[in-house]
Copies of this chain bind each other. A is one copy, B any other.
Amino acid sequence: MLPKVDVAIKKSKKQIIVEEAARLFREKGFVGTTMRDLASEVGMEAASLYNHIRSKDEILIEICLSLANTYSAKMDEVYPSDYTPIGKIKKLIALHIQINSMSSPLATVMNDEWRHLPEPTKTKFLDMRKRYEYQFTDIIQQGIEKGEIKQLDPRITLYTLLSSVRWLQHWYHANRELDVKDIKDNIMEMFLSGLTDNQYEWKN
């Protein structure tokens, strides 16, 4: 019984360290954050951190891979499902919006600091991302073939979609007036039927 409790306490401390690290990495970047910064934030000496984590790199690995797994798991659920392509895209974008606006610093760290991952983790991470993007592109392609989506370049469409919700990670935490549902509704409306009313002639 006692060892179990010990393990539980240790795990919890590690979680605190990783979460605080994510906050600092978002604020100052991975390279710009020192182990002494992190230590003072969690209330210990820098050397003591190493009783809970193996290295600074390990923290980044943990953050990036756990979030990458969340995305991959959702994709593996949605991709082979019975939703229409548009339905699948809506499910996936909803996940991106939710993660970027709620799961706080983790999303920023994965998005902005993955390039500092040590090998071979960096390659693994990029492979996961490549697979995710491939599946997403395929969904868009299917939507085009079914006539649900216009004749657009699937890759341009994919990257524009994924990119467009990233601002939430820098913004939401300072502005709580708008809730996630409003944001989601606005963004979905923009993407699915556009900025303009249909009768408006915008082409030059």
By a beta-carbon cutoff of 8 Å, the part of chain A in contact with chain B is 27-32, 86, 89-90, 112, 115-116, 147-150, 152-153, 156-157, 159-168, 171, 178, 182-183, 186-187, 189-198, 200, 202
* Identity of the chain B residue whose Cβ is nearest the Cβ of A144 in the assembled complex: B195
Known A-B contacts A191-B194, A196-B86, A197-B150; A165 and B160 likewise in contact (beta carbons under 8 Å): yes
Are B160 and A32 neighbours in the complex by a CB distance under 8 Å? no
Assess the A160–B190 pair: CB atoms within 8 A. Answer: yes
Main secondary structure, interface of A, reads: helix
A122 to chain B, nearest CB (A): 13
Does A193 lie within 8 Å of B194, measured CB to CB?
yes
- Asked if residues B150 and A195 are in contact (CB atoms below 8 Å), the reply is yes
Query: Contact check: which of B152, B163, B164, B182 meets A189 at CB < 8 Å?
Result: B152
A150 touches B198 (CB 8 A): no
User: Do the beta carbons of A164 and B153 come within 8 Å of each other?
Assistant: no
19 A–B contacts, CB within 8 A, in A order: A27-B115, A29-B30, A31-B31, A86-B200, A89-B195, A147-B197, A148-B197, A149-B195, A156-B187, A157-B190, A159-B167, A160-B165, A160-B186, A160-B187, A161-B164, A163-B164, A163-B166, A164-B164, A194-B194
